[in-house]
């Protein structure tokens, strides 16, 4: 017997044309995945990972336990040191996923009496972590720093503590819009009010910087950030995540982040893949450059085809065309798929009602002909 109240919720999703289902495997041209550099399909990284495991004599299939028990194999230390050096951070602590990293950080770092001020479009994993925190949390309007300044002043005025600890939270690339914050502005606010800034760089790794190091390093502001979250399931094409910060922060997370403490560690193979993907990122700059060129070409073509007003302004690999209505945006995605292009429709309630969109992801391996064709088709289906 399935609970009636759950059946009602499913039926409501069906009626709203918003019921999620696992998609079939598609051989269409990829404008949907987060594999921005093609690393997920890289034979080079696959072979290097295998050889690295042979060279280090690791033939285990699993970690055997949490890192605090039996799962802390030496590949962790090698990889965390490499990640920290690459990102110019004091320390890097690996988590099993970006979701685990955000849940772990936000549930344990902000304390009772602290305040969390977060961009309203922050990822669900950030908001879920904040819900587990004992700190008070308020969202500010997306990339609106006057609203953020207003909130900071408000919490300082209403706090029982004359100098409350305030955490400001944003992303370097927002996953649904593809746009970016004004970091000079938000850092200025953080410094003015002695607030601590946390930035999720999930969709910036592999995309920004000459070696794909992310947006903050690209503009040389990494030392202004209390904690950075980098994830490996996008630009690096593998799995897992890391929180970058001070050695003291690393020690605190090891002791208090429940999603780190109470889970089996990543396998040696998963860690080796992360290590080899970072090495490939450092030495293979062609893919990063090709991605950057394709993003520029995409933006030029949408302007030429009169599509620019549909799109959220973005210089990242995520390009979102706002097409209100679940049924309409699903219909256009289906037509694109029938013409050989895999583009995903993002429906409400994943995004607010009226903000449904086609989320087009650009990759280093997309050709200019493919980019032109998918945009021409989109123009035909939208304007017909």
Question: pLDDT of 206-255, one tens digit each?
Answer: 999 999 999 999 999 999 999 999 999 999 999 999 999 999 999 999 99
- The confidence band for 99, taking pLDDT boundaries of 50, 70 and 90, is very high
For residue 184, what are the contacts with CB-CB under 8 A and spacing of at least 6? 221
User: Stretch 151-175: mean pLDDT, rounded?
Assistant: 91
Q: Where are the beta strands (DSSP E) in 90-249?
A: 91-95, 115-119, 136-140, 166-171, 196-200, 227-231, 241-245
pLDDT at position 319: 98
pLDDT at position 74: 93
Give the bridge partners for 137, in sequence order.
116
- The confidence band for 36, taking pLDDT boundaries of 50, 70 and 90, is very high
Coil, strand or helix: which one is 104? helix
**What's the mean pLDDT when you consider all of the chain?**
95
- Token pair 């997370």: residue: 253
- The confidence band for 157, taking pLDDT boundaries of 50, 70 and 90, is confident
Helices (H), 133-284: 145-158, 183-192, 215-218, 247-256, 258-261, 268-283
User: Stretch 115-142: mean pLDDT, rounded?
Assistant: 97
Whether the pLDDT of residue 61 is over 80: the answer is yes
Could you report the per-residue pLDDT of 4-16, keeping only the tens digit for each? 999 999 999 999 8
pLDDT at position 76: 96
pLDDT at position 17: 83
pLDDT at position 205: 98
Return d(Cα 198, Cα 310) in angstroms, integer. Answer: 31
Strands 357-361 and 318-322: antiparallel
Whether the pLDDT of residue 29 is over 80: the answer is yes
From 66-70, 160-164, 185-189, 260-264, the region with the lowest mean pLDDT: 160-164
- The confidence band for 162, taking pLDDT boundaries of 50, 70 and 90, is confident
What percent of the chain has a predicted confidence (pLDDT) above 70?
100
Strands 91-95 and 357-361: unpaired
pLDDT at position 284: 81
Are 229 and 170 within 8 A, CB to CB?
A: no
Residue 279 has which token pair?
């090495």
pLDDT at position 24: 81
Whether the pLDDT of residue 384 is over 80: the answer is no
Are 138 and 151 within 8 A, CB to CB?
A: yes
């Amino acid at each position: 017997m399935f609970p009636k109240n759950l059946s009602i919720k499913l039926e409501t999703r069906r009626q709203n044309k918003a019921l999620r289902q696992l998609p079939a495997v598609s051989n269409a041209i990829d404008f949907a995945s987060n594999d921005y550099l093609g690393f997920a399909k890289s034979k080079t990284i696959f072979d290097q990972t295998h050889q690295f495991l042979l060279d280090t004599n690791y033939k285990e299939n699993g970690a055997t336990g949490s890192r605090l028990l039996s799962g802390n194999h030496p590949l962790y230390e090698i990889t965390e040191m490499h990640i920290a050096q690459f990102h110019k951070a004091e320390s890097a602590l690996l988590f099993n996923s970006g979701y685990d990293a955000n849940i772990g950080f936000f549930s344990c770092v902000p304390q009772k009496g602290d305040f969390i001020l977060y961009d309203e479009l922050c990822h669900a994993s950030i908001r879920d972590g904040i819900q587990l925190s004992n700190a008070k949390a308020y969202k500010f309007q997306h990339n609106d720093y006057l609203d953020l300044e207003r909130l900071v002043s408000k919490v300082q005025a209403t706090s029982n503590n004359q100098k409350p600890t305030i955490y400001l939270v944003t992303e370097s690339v927002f996953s649904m819009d593809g746009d970016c914050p004004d970091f000079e502005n938000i850092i200025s606010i953080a410094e003015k009010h002695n607030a601590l800034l946390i930035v999720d760089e999930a969709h910036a790794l592999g995309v920004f910087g000459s070696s794909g190091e992310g947006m903050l390093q690209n503009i040389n502001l990494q030392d202004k950030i209390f904690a950075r979250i980098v994830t490996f399931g996008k630009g690096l094409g593998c799995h897992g995540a890391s929180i970058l910060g001070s050695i003291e922060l690393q020690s605190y997370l090891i002791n208090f982040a429940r999603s780190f403490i109470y889970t089996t560690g990543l396998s040696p193979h998963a860690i080796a893949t992360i290590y080899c993907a970072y090495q490939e990122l450092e030495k293979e700059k062609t893919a990063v450059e090709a991605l950057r060129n394709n993003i520029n070409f995409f933006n030029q073509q949408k302007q030429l085809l009169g599509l620019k007003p549909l799109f959220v302004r973005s210089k990242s690999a995520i390009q979102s065309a706002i097409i209100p209505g679940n049924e309409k945006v699903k219909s256009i995605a289906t037509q694109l798929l029938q013409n050989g292009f895999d583009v995903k429709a993002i429906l409400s309630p994943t995004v607010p009602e009226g903000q449904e969109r086609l989320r087009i992801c650009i990759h280093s391996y997309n050709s200019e002909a493919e980019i032109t064709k998918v945009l021409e088709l989109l123009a035909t289906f939208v304007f017909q």
